[in-house]
Amino acid sequence: MTKRIIVTGAAGYIGGTFVYEALLNNHYVYGIDNFSNSTSKNIEYFKAKFAKNFYFSELDLSVSKLELKKIISDFKPDIIIHFAGLKSVAESEKKPDLYWTNNLNSTSNILECINEKISFIFSSSATVYGDSPVQPLNENCKLKATSVYGETKIASENLIRKASLAKGIKSICLRYFNPVGSHKDYVIVEDFQNQPNNLMPRLIQTVKNNTNSIDIYGSDYQTIDGTGERDYIHIIDIVEGHMLAMKNIQDIKNIEFYNLGTGIPVSVLSLVKTFNEVNNLNININFVDRREGDVEICFADPTKALNDLNWKAKYDLKEMCKDSWKAANV
């Protein structure tokens, strides 16, 4: 069934990949982005290829509630999918006020503008769990973020829970782990305005800039090789999770929370080695001190998403590494 979808953060890596897949499936999409950490490349592509189904406004949702109200009134969406937000753990520790203002205000403004006729899906994060002693992480684990970024996600989830109960808005918060890879059409670019903080774009940038090594933060964790362990998940699996959440959202009572992860912990060192191996590269590693806000180990128990949404990650680490590098060279 064709949906009318407002997508915030539509120019970005995850939001843009979702927009592309939604448009391929003939949905009508109204994209919103302020290009704070992305460029207009993806938006221009959508306008050219999907002119009949795609609309766009450049908007800062943290300060533009009146403009958002008008968009909602005119477009009449069935659902809003909220990807927009500042997303760097490391940067959030240096600029906490910016993260609180941007991430909380944008979520609050959207919730103030919608009613029970519009469903809501929120792009949350595994950072809400912090440095949990319980692994793998299920949705009932204690929320105790170790970074400002993670704290803004917890606060946003609380806002959504209260709005869902008070206003009858059907809502799903998707807590995803570490997205990497690319859509198989290789048309969506992860184009940064600022220095990337996540591992995969840093690896790609290392090669593109002809530097020989990449800094790895911490080599003294209590893990198999001393580096942090993460649950890396292909971007296509993340997008499929959103599609299934959108399909099933009318079946939930008020609000639900789902982990999107593979359930497989992979060390940072293992990812770098796999990236080198499958792409015939030779990036060297330079170990440096731990980075503030990072946790030792974090991987998902995705059972609830399988049971409720019929969602399961399909792609392995080699496929993630191949697709990330191929997309950077198309």
Structure tokens belonging to residue 89: 């753990």
Question: How many independent structural domains does the chain possess?
Answer: 1
- 212 assigned to some structural domain: no
Task: List the CATH number of the domain containing 18.
Answer: 3.40.50.720
Determine the pLDDT at residue 194.
67
Determine the pLDDT at residue 263.
98
- 283 assigned to some structural domain: no
- 176 belongs to the catalytic site: no
Residue segments in the chain with a per-residue pLDDT below the cut of 50: none
- 289 assigned to some structural domain: no
- Report pTM: 0.96
- Omega before 136 cis (within 30°)? yes
Q: Which of 13, 28, 149, 315 is catalytic?
A: 149
Domain enclosing residue 140, as ranges: 4-181+232-261+300-314
Determine the pLDDT at residue 195.
75
- Residue 77: phi and psi, rounded to 5, are -75, 155
Determine the pLDDT at residue 196.
80
Contacts of 84 (CB under 8 A, 6+ apart): 8, 9, 12, 15, 32, 33, 34, 61, 106
Determine the pLDDT at residue 192.
61
Cα 70 from Cα 19, distance rounded (Å): 21
- 224 assigned to some structural domain: no
Cα distances (Å, whole numbers) of residue 7 to 20, 23, 33, 268: 11, 12, 9, 31
- 268 assigned to some structural domain: no
- 293 assigned to some structural domain: no
Determine the pLDDT at residue 45.
96
- 11 assigned to some structural domain: yes
Determine the pLDDT at residue 303.
98
Cα 230 from Cα 297, distance rounded (Å): 6
CA atoms lying within 13 Å on the CB side of residue 120: 32
- 195 assigned to some structural domain: no
